[in-house]
Structure 1
Amino acid sequence: MAVLGAAMLTLSGCVSFSDQDQTREAGKFSNNPVPDIIAPKTPDTPAEPSEDQQGPPPTGPCVDPDNAVIATCLASTGGVHPADSEGKTTYVAERTTGKIIVSKRYGPQRVLATIPVDASGDGGLIDFAFSPTYGQDGLIFALITTGSDNRVVRVAAGDVPKPILTGIPKGAGGNMGSMYFQSATELIVATGDAGSRAAASDPSSLAGKILKVSPFRDAGRPQVVASGFGGNVALCPDSESKTLYVADHGEAGDRLFSVDKNGPKKLWQWDDNPQIGGCAASGGVIYVAMTRARRIDSIAAPTAQKPTVTNPAPADVAKRFGHVARLAPIPGGVQLATVNKSVPRADVKTYDDRVAIFNPPQPTEDRM
């Protein structure tokens, strides 16, 4: 995943949903060519003090004693993305407040952007992605819930969010999706089924789909890449193998797929209803977060020599982190985001919700 600078212009100015709808025409993009992708900057964050420079750690209700935790006291989370090459800094979405926050351990948290959302049910600020040319255009793209639908918007400093894809069905649940830039001109968006398995299979509906969106111009209806996904869909592209993996949770169960030009291929299904909340892929391993079961499973990615995946290696995170959802890959492991504030009867700590660095056990090499 590309590393983006943390010294970014804060976006401000909340608007109502009606304001967004009134600016629908203003949201159309020009036909100006997309600039070449530039090398991203490293985050402008204070250097980590050496051991002999460190004083006693701060205290207070928002301090988690776990050294792996890099963000605390968050509202319930949505998407999470590393902000440096080692994953010691994070960008995280607060699903229920619409804020995108940058944070590191013991460092001040900064609000990068605030986007108006409807956070009822499991909606809100679901995920976000930085423009591949962020250093030039300062644009953030977000998958959000409004009072009438789920949609993708473009966010720029000093401007109202501009809709680029509207009309994604919204339900009382089943709104969680995911997004990432496949290239400078291709935004891949996964949408939840909004509580309707039939809608996920309906070609006329944008629910339960993986879509290819043209973010910098008005291209009409998006291309449907794959269909039939559940109410919580997580995209986990492997940048090394160029393979897209997709994990979902819904009426059909908890499943892991690979997706190519031939559509989705199911790799694994869990029968214990662990409630998939997120996934990440790197280094030949697919990591899948289980929200209800409070664990992270590691699976050896399929290869031409070993095309069948078996025997996930589970890591129990119940006592350490609680309920986990979205994941992002970092060297040797993942950044994980907790959702304890969204789970009924969860053991919520004073420093929840959190983002942490985690190194799951590697999967077994045994194959059927």
Structure 2
Amino acid sequence: MTAVLAAAALLLTAGCSSDDGGAARGNGSASPSDTPAKSSPSERTAEETPPAEGSVKVVRTVATGLSTPWGLAPLADGDLLVSSRDEATITRVDGRTGEKTELGEVPGVSPSGEGGLLGIALSPEYASDHMIYAYFTSASDNRIVRMLYDEQKPPGEQLGAPDTILRGIPKGVVHNGGRIAFGPDRMLYVGTGESGDTGLSQDKDSLGGKILRLTPEGEPAPGNPFPDSPVYSYGHRNVQGLAWDREQRLFASEFGQNTWDELNAIKPGDNYGWPEAEGRSDEGGFHNPIDQWSTDEASPSGIAHAEGSIWMAGLLGERLWRIPLKDTAASAEPQAFLKGEYGRLRTVVPAGGDRLWLVTSNTDGRGEPKDGDDRILELQVS
């Protein structure tokens, strides 16, 4: 513990900011369910531009009393799986009653700083293989594993032994990335961070500061832009949000350092600029963001697509941003909702049609927990 605290202090003294704005900034989705989601009358056609003004209604609080929740994976029956960063557990939340049942603890997780058990996703063949994928920080690296979920076993013993499909993602006290999601192509997409070593982002031989694209077995996915490499895009600082629109276009949120947080449209093989560029840049060769925010207004983690917009959860910003889209550009000014009402917001996941699941993050050591924190909310959006 002393070593971890010393490392954190050294990073802050050197001016390395946290990934979510919990410490002072220095100078230095959703997994597929068993069955396809049914279309809703509220879903917009692919060519329709969303209105400039939207709305958010908190329909209900689904669950309370969660400890350091991070990843969320909806099941086909309406229940939700949620990971705990610090406890390294996965819990099933009844989507109607909010009752919580612990599946088990993921072995090998080494929580410290911003690391621990982070994103989770369901196998694209979950209906038949019952596999849960998880991204976590070990004692030596960040890695991705998959585990069998056996509901017939007693609570607390329902997770099978982890099968590691990818290891060697750089770890740090900060900037561990952690979001994983299966895309429309049934490949596994992974958001990683540069672990505080900014040089890794431009190094295409490193897994840090990247978006990776893998087969479900952990191999570089067919069609990736760099031969025999899992790297899909590079020049990222710390990616914790991944989402696709109805045209199967990928978007990602990214933590800035001192000035600009970003929402990016991801093109395979493109360079997103870090550390040479933070936010928009006139320098050639970098893919500019769709939009950018000051770091105290956003510090974005999860994102989701619904009703023609990207919805982006803000940690330090303590608000939910709506970014209406036309193709891969913003069609109107972003709007902020829920500002300060629920504290830090970590994860947002589509719940079908005009609904979203939203997870707060006030028990992670950087928030100010209120009675009932942390919680999962159901939202109705437009």
Normalising by structure 1, what TM-score?
0.73
Higher-RCO chain (CA-CA 8 Å, sequence separation at least 6): 2
Gaps of 5+ in 1: 6-38, 43-65, 363-368
Question: For the structure 1 residues 219 and 328, does the alpha-carbon distance in structure 2 shift closer, same or farther, using more than 3 Å as the test?
Answer: closer
Superimposed CA distance per residue, residues 42-86 of structure 1 (whole angstroms, 9 cap, x where no aligned partner): 9xxxxxxxxxxxxxxxxxxxxxxx86111211111111233358x
| Cα deviation, residue 174, structure 1 | 0.7
Question: For the structure 1 residues 291 and 225, does the alpha-carbon distance in structure 2 shift closer, same or farther, using more than 3 Å as the test?
Answer: same
> In 1, Cα distance between the equivalents of 2:219 and 2:112?
29
Aligned to 2:132: 140
Alignment map for 1:128-207 (pairs within 5 Å): 128-157=120-149, 159-182=160-183, 186-207=187-208
Q: Pick the aligned partner of 2:85 from 59, 71, 95.
A: 95
Question: For the structure 1 residues 135 and 113, does the alpha-carbon distance in structure 2 shift closer, same or farther, using more than 3 Å as the test?
Answer: farther
Aligned to 1:366: none
Question: For the structure 1 residues 2 and 343, does the alpha-carbon distance in structure 2 shift closer, same or farther, using more than 3 Å as the test?
Answer: closer
- Aligned residues: percent identity? 28
Secondary structure of 1:250's partner?
Answer: coil
Aligned to 1:79: 71
Question: For the structure 1 residues 73 and 40, does the alpha-carbon distance in structure 2 shift closer, same or farther, using more than 3 Å as the test?
Answer: same
Question: For the structure 1 residues 222 and 180, does the alpha-carbon distance in structure 2 shift closer, same or farther, using more than 3 Å as the test?
Answer: farther
Paired positions, count: 298
Secondary structure of 1:286's partner?
Answer: strand
Q: Pick the aligned partner of 1:266 from 289, 311, 316.
A: 289
| Cα deviation, residue 261, structure 1 | 3.6
Secondary structure of 1:359's partner?
Answer: strand
Alignment map for 1:236-251 (pairs within 5 Å): 236-238=243-245, 240-251=246-257
> In 2, Cα distance between the equivalents of 1:317 and 1:217?
39
Superimposed CA distance per residue, residues 156-202 of structure 1 (whole angstroms, 9 cap, x where no aligned partner): 25642111110000001111321111257521111122122221121
Secondary structure of 2:255's partner?
Answer: strand
- In the TM superposition, structure 1's runs of 4+ consecutive aligned residues that sit over 6 Å from their partners are none
> In 1, Cα distance between the equivalents of 2:178 and 2:31?
20
Aligned to 2:335: 313
Question: For the structure 1 residues 175 and 95, does the alpha-carbon distance in structure 2 shift closer, same or farther, using more than 3 Å as the test?
Answer: same
| Cα deviation, residue 309, structure 1 | 4.1
1:80–1:336 Cα contact (<8 Å) kept: no
> In 2, Cα distance between the equivalents of 1:173 and 1:91?
25
Q: CA RMSD in A?
A: 2.7
> In 2, Cα distance between the equivalents of 1:334 and 1:193?
30
1:232–1:250 Cα contact (<8 Å) kept: no
Question: For the structure 1 residues 89 and 295, does the alpha-carbon distance in structure 2 shift closer, same or farther, using more than 3 Å as the test?
Answer: same
Secondary structure of 1:340's partner?
Answer: coil
Alignment map for 1:1-368 (pairs within 5 Å): 4=33, 39=35, 68-84=60-76, 89-103=79-93, 104-116=95-107, 117-157=109-149, 159-182=160-183, 186-216=187-217, 222-238=229-245, 240-251=246-257, 253-261=260-268, 263=270, 265-274=288-297, 275-303=299-327, 307-319=329-341, 321-330=342-351, 331-344=353-366, 346-360=367-381, 362=382
Which amino acid letter does the alignment assign opposite residue 127 of structure 1? G
Which amino acid letter does the alignment assign opposite residue 76 of structure 1? T
Which amino acid letter does the alignment assign opposite residue 90 of structure 1? L
Which amino acid letter does the alignment assign opposite residue 96 of structure 1? D
Secondary structure of 2:87's partner?
Answer: coil
2:348–2:357 Cα contact (<8 Å) kept: yes
Normalising by structure 2, what TM-score?
0.71
